[in-house]
Amino acid sequence: MNLQRYPSAAAFLEVAGPFLLRAEAENSLILGIAGDLARGAGPGATTAYFATVRDGEEICLCAFSSVPSKVGLTQASDRAALPLLATDVIEACPGMQVVLGPEPTALSFAGLVAKQLGTIPRPWMSQRIHELRAVEPLPDLPAGRLRPADIGDMGLLTQWVAEFMVHAGEQGDAAEVARDRISRGLLHVWEDGEVVSMAAWTGQTPNGVRISLVYTPESLRGRGYATACVAALSRKMLQVNRYCCLYTDLANPTSNAIYYRIGYRPVCDAAVYSVRDT
């Protein structure tokens, strides 16, 4: 087994791209983040970590970190690659607190990392990756329309992004995230007299995009706004992409049902594990 780090996202994609595209929706997170960084979109281009583990010429595992606290990885085609990667990410990513990726690789990797750190891996979130190729007919959707968010929405959407990040356990400056997504035309809202829901697309891959930042304030839930917003944004994205994908929290059956109704279908399960004591 041989591990290689890459000096840039572009260098990583040149080598690992064909491997990742074998399961494009499953690998949408790493493909999308690496693609954004290679295009100069988003922060972290100079500090990101990208690595592959090979058995001879064949890649059997990839990993990345674009924020100091998280390390993501792909499914491992050979479990023998995991110990080598665990040792390297501990050295390369000293701020790592969680690991994430498809199961069962994520669980095995979290256990190896935690063992080297002298901690116990703790499950933080069970997820499912879904893919959409066509939006299902949706009767009885609420009134309103989808539109790109603009700077006039900044105050409200900063609050919503902050609330979303708390739920998702994400770190960062909500205002900066909202401003970035609005300025790049990624963040959209459903408007029914007033702005009632939001969703964004991100992570452009060769054939698709990832839907994220889906949020409706608690006082407006149960009216179909999230369904309408995600369905309309997904339909818009499918005009220029072959598929959309998204991650769901398996502990939230309501959102999983919404996405299934729209036409999203499971690709694989994934998980997030804490590997440091806090």
- pLDDT reported for residue 168: 80
At 25, which amino acid appears?
A
**Cα three-residue angle 150-152-154, rounded to 5 degrees:** 80
Of 54, 47, 98, which Cα lies nearest the Cα of 78?
Answer: 54
- In a structure prediction context, what are the per-residue pLDDT tens digits for the chain, which is 278 residues long? 899 999 999 999 999 999 999 999 999 999 999 999 998 865 555 689 999 999 999 999 999 999 889 999 999 999 999 999 999 999 999 999 999 999 999 999 999 999 999 999 999 999 999 999 999 999 889 999 999 999 999 999 999 999 999 888 787 899 999 999 999 999 999 999 999 999 999 999 999 999 999 999 999 999 999 999 999 999 999 999 999 999 999 998 888 899 999 999 999 999 999 998 76
Kindly state the tokens that stand for 69. 């606290």
Is the full-model pTM beyond 0.95?
Answer: no
- pLDDT reported for residue 27: 97
Q: Is 154 exposed, middle or buried, given 0-12, 13-18 or 19+ CB atoms closer than 10 A?
A: middle
- pLDDT reported for residue 46: 61
**Cα three-residue angle 197-198-201, rounded to 5 degrees:** 155
Q: Are 204 and 35 in contact (CB under 8 A)?
A: yes
- pLDDT reported for residue 232: 97
Q: Are 124 and 250 in contact (CB under 8 A)?
A: no
H or E element in which residue 50 lies: strand 49-55
Q: Are 146 and 232 in contact (CB under 8 A)?
A: yes
SS3 79: helix
Give me the domains of the chain, ranges plus CATH numbers. Answer: 2-126 (3.40.630), 135-262 (3.40.630.30)
29-51 exposure pattern, b = at least 16 Cβ within 10 A, e = fewer: bbbbbbbbbbeeebeebeebbbb
Residue 215 exposure: Cα atoms within 13 Å on the Cβ side = 20
Q: Are 235 and 243 in contact (CB under 8 A)?
A: no
